[in-house]
Amino acid sequence: MARVFYTYVWGRSAGTGGPLIFTDKANRTKAMRKVDEGDFVFAVASRKPADPTVVIPEDLKGRVINAWQVSKTAADSAEYGLKAENSWDADSDGNYKFPYALQPIRYWLIQPMPVFKELAGYSTQTHTQEAISTVQEVEGVLAESFMDLLLTSARELPVQLPKQKVLDGRIKQLAQKHPFVKQGYTVLPPKAQLNSIYVATLGKGGKNLKIGHSADPAKRVADLNKYRLSSEKQWILTVSQPIGDVEEAIAMERYLGQFFASHRTERNNNEIFINLDAMDVALEIAKAKTTVS
């Protein structure tokens, strides 16, 4: 079974499926020792990079921005024709200064980009020094939350290959060896499984709520509460409406996010809403169920 990792990054390229790049060889070696071919690594944009000269766009900070399915094939970033775009990623000659790359098998842009700390399963122990310099494995609810993004919020791009054409065939072989979804990763709900739209309020009768989809809403909401203090308001399952398979549930969730967009906490957050009554959501689900697919 494929495992799930994350790493902190300073940005992304929206046009190409570029490699996973490390600041030095030792950190790339650590990553190569941790991952297996076919594992997934999710990129989280740093909020406060250790290098004070690095400037990260405000709309990326702290968000999950892309993902790779990785190989264990090392490459030199110069082989990809990468160019320095900022003062902090240029060497004294103006060339791209981070040569240590790991070739991906697949690459996805995440859009909308969720706030990392708001993913189900995140806790105060999630953030580690390892994730800053190399990759950090995650399990359980957080791994499920990451993989769920590949179903709901990801756009796959063709992976960028280095100039060494000998790798072309190798990466194609790995893509066949490690198919995505068809292999049925356990963190992904089976397509044929009945999924529901759920609404969880923060506290009984609360107007701050979360809209999501799950094959087991009660368990999903219980998982959301695992990392909340007993003194804090708890998520309460208020609405659970069976919809259909996972794709139908995702379509309904997207529709509700657009319908109640004025209640979003942030423009790109399609899960958390404020000043919204759970019963209004339930009524809209009932009205839309016959038209949304």
What pLDDT was estimated at residue 289? 65
Distance, in Å, from the CA atom of 162 to the CA atom of 200, rounded to the nearest integer, reads 46
What pLDDT was estimated at residue 268? 65
Based on the domain organization, do 167 and 209 belong to the same domain?
no
Domain membership of residue 25 (yes or no) is: yes
Are the C-beta atoms of 210 and 228 separated by less than 8 Å? no
Give the pairing of strands 40-45 and 4-9.
parallel
- Name the domain boundary from 114, 149, 177: 177
Based on the domain organization, do 17 and 129 belong to the same domain?
yes
Which residue matches tokens 């000998």?
Answer: 166
Are the C-beta atoms of 102 and 20 separated by less than 8 Å? yes
For the residues 66-80, what does the mean pLDDT come to? 87
Based on the domain organization, do 121 and 199 belong to the same domain?
no
Mean pLDDT over all residues of the chain?
Answer: 85
Based on the domain organization, do 146 and 45 belong to the same domain?
yes
What pLDDT was estimated at residue 251? 86
The number of domains in the chain is 2
Based on the domain organization, do 42 and 133 belong to the same domain?
yes
Based on the domain organization, do 164 and 199 belong to the same domain?
no
> Hey, which of 46-60, 122-136, 245-259 has the most confident mean pLDDT?
122-136
Domain membership of residue 189 (yes or no) is: no
Domain membership of residue 158 (yes or no) is: yes
Domain membership of residue 81 (yes or no) is: yes
Domain that holds residue 143: 4-177
**Of 77, 71, 54, nearest in space to 8 by CA:** 54
Domain membership of residue 185 (yes or no) is: no
Count the Cβ atoms, other than its own, within 10 Å of residue 256. Answer: 22
Its sign, for the CA torsion 154, 40, 266, 157, is: negative
- Name the domain boundary from 142, 177, 212: 177
> Tens of pLDDT along 11-34?
877 667 888 989 899 999 999 999
Based on the domain organization, do 157 and 278 belong to the same domain?
no
Based on the domain organization, do 130 and 95 belong to the same domain?
yes
**Of 118, 78, 76, nearest in space to 95 by CA:** 78
For the residues 83-91, what does the mean pLDDT come to? 77
For the residues 148-173, what does the mean pLDDT come to? 79
Based on the domain organization, do 121 and 210 belong to the same domain?
no
> Tens of pLDDT along 162-206?
776 666 677 777 888 887 753 444 444 444 578 899 999 999 999
pLDDT of 115 higher than 90 = yes
Based on the domain organization, do 9 and 113 belong to the same domain?
yes
- Name the domain boundary from 151, 177, 203: 177
Domain membership of residue 172 (yes or no) is: yes
Based on the domain organization, do 218 and 154 belong to the same domain?
no
Q: Which residues does residue 210 pair with via DSSP β-bridges, in sequence order?
A: 200, 272
Domain membership of residue 246 (yes or no) is: yes
- Concatenate the DSSP letters of all residues of the chain into one string: ---EEEEEES---SSSBPPEEESSHHHHHHHHHH--TT-EEEEEE-SS-SSTT----TTTTTBEEEEEEEEEEEEEGGGGT----SGGGB-TTSSB---EEEEEEEEEEESS--BGGGSTT--TTT--HHHHHS-EEE-HHHHHHHHHHHHHSEEEEPBP--S-THHHHHHHHHHHHS-SSTT--TTSPPTTS-EEEEEEEESTT-S-EEEEEES-HHHHHHHHHTTS-TTSPPEEEEEEEEEESHHHHHHHHHHHHHHTGGGBSSTT-SSEESS--HHHHHHHHHHHTTT--
Based on the domain organization, do 168 and 40 belong to the same domain?
yes
What pLDDT was estimated at residue 23? 87
What pLDDT was estimated at residue 73? 86
- Tell which wins on pLDDT, 86 or 72: 72
Domain membership of residue 182 (yes or no) is: no
